[in-house]
Structure 1
Amino acid sequence: MTPVLSVRDLRVRLGRREIVRGISFDVEPEQTLGIVGESGSGKTMTALAATGLLDTPGAVTTGSSQLAASDDSHATQLVGAKPRVLRSVHGGRIGFVFQDPGTSLNPLLTLERQITESLQAHKNLTRRSARQRALELLEAVGLPEADRRLDSYPHQLSGGQRQRVMVAIALACDPELLVADEPTTALDVTTQAQIVTLIKDLQRDFGAAVVWISHDLGLVGQVADTVAVLQDGVSVEQAPILGIFDSPSHAYTRELLDARPVIGAGGPPPAPADAAVLLDVDKLHVGFGEITAVEDVSFQIRRGTTLGLVGESGSGKSTVAGALTGLVTPTSGTATLDGVDILRVRGTDEKSLRRRISLVLQDPFAALDGRARIGSAIAEPLAVHGIRRGKHARAERVAELLELVGLPGEFASRYPHELSGGQRQRVSIARALAAEPELVILDEATASLDVSVQSRVLDLLADLQRDLGLTYLFISHDLAVVERMSHDVLVLRGGSTVEYRPAADLLAAPEQEYTRALLAAVPPARPRAG
């Protein structure tokens, strides 16, 4: 059987640096190749170079990448192909689904216009025929009220719905090859599971070959037939999916497997039986006009323990965090920290109280000022709360905090863009600890990280809790990560509590169907694709 895409000795050079180094692979008809590795491993660069989509200034691509002939003509060489050839291939014979549909979709065009664009360019359909085909595609990807959605704009859809539209666009011209580059990374686990099932079903119906790029071997195990593991631009291992999971031959592959969060791996050490309640939230209610974001939510967090707050996007998790940190004004309810209602304190008392609660957000790059050095970012809470007097004393404390989160003191002189994602998140944690808080709220603090980096950050958080006696409110959509960190778990849906119990009890025997659905969406320890 002739491969749909055959890549040999693919290399990409930027200046003197070779970032893709001699990669070869085949993608068979109706099969899925998973390309796996951490950020910077060359996954996306490999896929872009192999499909002729790489347009990085100064990049030089060599090697061979052949797209099999679709008729009696010869195979198409994509490396070094002329723009005319690539235009005839992209969107027609090769479809693309990228990580962030918010940046891939044009906010000024309706869904109909964005889907019919490639149909009119590659299939020469009339406007009426193209509209009918767009409707069929939106129905095929499971978009609710597809006929009405044709005239909608991207901002009127949820993240999962926008990704479904991206899949529809990618499949519009019945491509022979679909390239899915981290298509579920920005989605919660249940939506992720839906997109995985959708693409697998459509692959079966449309007969396309798929290249699925991800940093998560657990996810790839749900979709791939074979896997290529990349590290520093080199393919260190290629094998069928079961071979990768059952008998990995390379240490890096084993590291990626060990870093996966899986249900049943166990949680933190038990909390002391006499641990006092630090935060007591009672009937918290938050509304925005006629919309209720959080409805009568109550919970307690004991000192030195972690409460996992779980739910899909839109469940109200971040709104709870916003209410506790003063970013959102609640409609009613109380939240007492050592007997003081933090929702009602104002003036100078509020400043001293806010010092006792710190927040770590999901995106460390957005949370840090790109124009300020790392040392200045960490020192700011010290100056605001008057914790260390004098420039020299604050610099010493910054060095201590960097060491505490496992970073060298010299990082104080760097800027955020000079650090990796995991390093930036460590800086965000150091900044949160600068005010010496009692409660740290972690709002999807590891969701944007590679699984191996995520594992190291979770280890760091556990060590800090043990050494400093920190109390965490750990917000996440991923129950496997929550299990690893949490003593108690509260499940939210639509702003209301679904169930709230000790983590071990809730995860072992969930009482509600919604919790069971969240658990079922976590990738299993062994691949379903096998």
Structure 2
Amino acid sequence: MTVLSVDNLRVRIGARTIVDGVSFDVAREKTVGIVGESGSGKTMTVLAATGLLDAPGARVSGSSTLTGADEPVQLVGASPRVLRVVHGARIGFVFQDPGTSLNPLLTLERQITESLEKHRHLTRRAAKDRALELLEAVGLPEPQMRLHAYPHQLSGGQRQRVMIAIALACDPELLVADEPTTALDVTTQSQIIELVRELQRDFGTAVVWISHDLGVIGQVADEVTVMRNGVTVEQAPIMEVFDRPREEYTRGLLAARPVLDRAGPPAVADAERLLEVDGLDVRFAVTTPVGRSTVHAVRDVSFTVRRGTTLGLVGESGSGKSTVAACLTGLVKPDAGTANLAGVDVLHVKGSAAKRIRRRVGLVFQDPFSSLNPRARVGDSVSEPLVVHKLVDGRETRRRRVEDLLDLVGLPTEFADRYPHELSGGQRQRVSIARALAAEPDLLILDEATASLDVSAQARVLDLLSRLQRELGLTYLLIGHDLAVIRQVSHEILVMRGGQVVENRPADELFTSPQQEYTRALLAAVPPVKPRSAV
């Protein structure tokens, strides 16, 4: 039974056509995956099809009919009153960032019971009981206590589980999941995928799953719609898309997926030790409802990074990876330990010496949009380290150096006059890498530097990093949660869990014969090459 039928959907904003003639059907207990790069129109399509599009000057045409068990509703052109009845009751939504989707001022209980009271007319007590059932169903630990918690008191994966509970509160006929696992580590992503599949089996819900990663789509979808520039490029069952993709664009998306069987860089023999970290220990004092306590974020961590190589630092959210990076860059003062960079302890330098040593450690953050000044042109952002460290004299010399850096990361020199919002995500990350390289650091730390990019942009950035390492002999500390991504560029891998080192071995050895159960779990959580239905 068809739950949602979208036919010849078009979206125009001003004179520009954003979505052009998209059609698809979603049946009960089935999942349609909509996949494409950023800007392909996949999210705009689903927002327009469900009546959520609220862009100024947008004009939506075509039809989108919600059928299911109740009376059919034409969602294109529906009145706000009709949409208020449908949204939450018959259509549930799970968006990419649960941190911005959840109200920070309301408890989890109130956010779940709100739709139950509105659409199902339950009493406050009955709604609370239903909220508890939902939190138990989505696998949230200690659900009775969590009812009174606020969103900031949960991890990213836990917040996403709460979003799924809210979306399913009224037993909707259709669930829309817009990149629901992109910001999560691979083990949490695997759990969320399995959770949605279980709930789909239990409640018979139809699902529209939006993603840029065909690897994820392969684990959830029955049918796939591939989009590019607002147009449907390919539409077929999941096995057909993986086995016999008709379009070059689809083949490119498949080739860009991070997979475990892709070989990493060749081993580097007898490379010089550039960074030696010994006994790093970090504790944070936190305030809890029962008083102050201490979080032991990093516990006696030691490792070595060799010149001209990449050390991949892997672990789930909360494992202590980013705290290690913050210590090396001076953002966090450790309680114990040393970190010798070419003979200088970067953890304990002070005064003018600290400024000189900080120049030798570059840092690229996860989100290039928030790490770049939106009011500064690209050229000014890239040249800032040159000015701070007084590396060049004169405006013209500085301009030429900026152009050289942009050329080095594969960007046209005219990008120097653009602002960050005028660039794509992958282009912004290239600017961030150029800025980090401006100070000519000995060590470049990349903290989840590709996690927020779609798979094609991620593949291009990883290729760029590999090329720069070969040409310039750069040394990387690459922090991530996805072992398939880490493998492509890492010579050695350090696995962390709960602030401790679980495993530290050459990449080939770790992937061939992981010694720890936790490492095997991380490997098992990476989406396989073939779709789930092929297993």
TM-score, scaled to structure 2: 0.97
Q: Which residue of 2 aligns with 1:171?
A: 168
How does 1:55-204 map onto structure 2 within 5 Å? 55-71=54-70, 73=71, 75-204=72-201
2:277 maps to 281
> What is the SS of the residue equivalent to 1:529?
helix
Q: What's the CA shift for 1:374?
A: 0.6
Write the mapping of 1:328-343 to structure 2, written as runs, cut at 5 A.
328-343=332-347
2:384 to 380, 385, 389: 380
The alpha carbon displacement at 1:529 in A equals 3.2
Matched residues in 2 for 1:361 and 1:218: separation?
24
2:291 maps to which residue? none
2-side partners of 1:101 and 1:412: how far apart? 34
Give 1:69 shift. 4.7
Tell me which of 202, 216, 227 is aligned to 1:205. Answer: 202
The 8 Å contact of residues 65 and 78 in structure 1, kept in 2 or not, is answered as: yes
1:224 aligns with 2:221: yes
Identity of aligned residues (%): 71
CA displacement at 1:337 relative to structure 2: 1.0
Cα distance in structure 2, aligned partners of 1:485 and 1:45: 34
Matched, 1:263 2:260: yes
Structure 1 ranges of 4+ moved more than 3 A:
none
Q: Distance in 2 between matches of 1:283 and 1:237?
A: 53
1:19 alignment partner AA: I
What's the CA shift string for 1:327-361, capped at 9, x where partnerless?
Answer: 11011111111111111211222222111110000
| Amino acid of the structure 2 residue aligned with 1:476 | G
Q: 1:400 is aligned with what amino acid?
A: D
Once residues 7 and 507 of structure 2 are traced to their aligned partners in structure 1, the CA distance between those partners, rounded to angstroms, is 49
Could you say what secondary structure the match of 2:182 adopts? coil
Name which of 494, 500, 505 aligns with 2:498: 494
1:192 is aligned with what amino acid? Q
1:384 Cα offset (Å): 1.1
Letter in 1 for 2:106: L
Secondary structure in 2 matching 1:389: coil
Q: Secondary structure of 1:283's match?
A: strand
In structure 2, how many angstroms separate the alpha carbons of the residues matched to 1:526 and 1:191? 20
Q: Indicate which of 362, 368, 377 corresponds to 1:364.
A: 368
The number of equivalent residue pairs is 526
1:123-170 Cα deviation digits (max 9, x unpaired): 111111111111111110011111111111111111111110100010
TM-score normalised per structure 1: 0.98
* Counterpart contact for 1:69–1:76, Cα < 8 Å: no
Which residue identity does 1:146 align to in structure 2?
Answer: P
Which residue of structure 2 lines up, in the alignment, with residue 252 of structure 1? 249
CA distance in structure 2 between the aligned counterparts of 1:43 and 1:130, rounded to whole angstroms: 34
Are 1:20 and 2:19 an aligned pair? yes
Question: After the TM superposition, which of the residue ranges 506-515 and 143-152 deviates more from structure 2?
Answer: 143-152
Matches of 1:122 and 1:416, distance apart in 2: 42
The amino acid of 1:134's aligned partner reads: A
Which of 309, 312, 320 is residue 313 of structure 2 equivalent to? 309
Structure 1 stretches of 5 or more lacking a match? none
How big is the shift at 1:269?
Answer: 2.4
Deviations 1:176-214 (A, max 9, x none): 100000001111111111111101100000110000000
Counting only pairs closer than 5 Å after superposition, residues 462-501 of structure 1 correspond to structure 2 as: 462-501=466-505
Which amino acid in the other structure matches residue 135 of structure 1? Answer: L
What's the CA shift string for 1:225-249, capped at 9, x where partnerless?
0100000000110011110100000
Alpha-carbon distance in 2 for matches of 1:199, 1:529: 16
8 Å contact kept, 2:3–2:67:
yes
Distance in 2, Cα, partners of 1:128 & 1:373: 55
Per the alignment, residue 235 of structure 1 pairs with 232
Cα pair 2:136 2:143 within 8 Å, conserved? yes
After superposition, the C-alpha distances for 1:444-484 in whole angstroms (9 at most, x for unaligned) are 00000000000000000000000000000000000001100
Give deviations 1:350-384, integer Å, cap 9, x for gaps.
22211111000001011111111110101110111
Matching residue's letter, 2:33? G
Any idea what SS the aligned residue of 1:183 has?
A: coil
Once the 2 structures are TM-superposed, how far is the Cα of residue 110 of structure 1 from its aligned partner? 1.1
Note the C-alpha offset of 1:292. 1.1
CA contact (8 A) 2:483 2:522 kept: yes
Whole-angstrom distance in 2 between the partners of 1:325 and 1:529? 45
Per-residue deviation, residues 98-145 of structure 1 (Å, max 9, x unmatched): 011111111111111111111111111111111111111111001111
Whether 1:296 and 2:300 are equivalent positions in the alignment is: yes
Equivalent position of 1:412 in the other structure: 416
CA distance in 2: counterparts of 1:145 and 1:333, whole angstroms: 36
User: 2: distance between equivalents of 1:472 and 1:39?
Assistant: 27
SS at match of 2:299: strand
Deviates further, 342-351 or 183-192: 342-351
Code of the residue aligned with 2:180 in structure 1: it is: P
Offset of residue 438 of structure 1 = 1.3
SS for the counterpart of 1:4 is strand
Does the 8 Å contact 2:68/2:173 carry over to 1? no
Query: Alpha-carbon deviation of 1:70?
Result: 2.0
Deviation readout 1:246-284 (Å, 9 max, x if unpaired): 00001110000000000010101221x121100011111
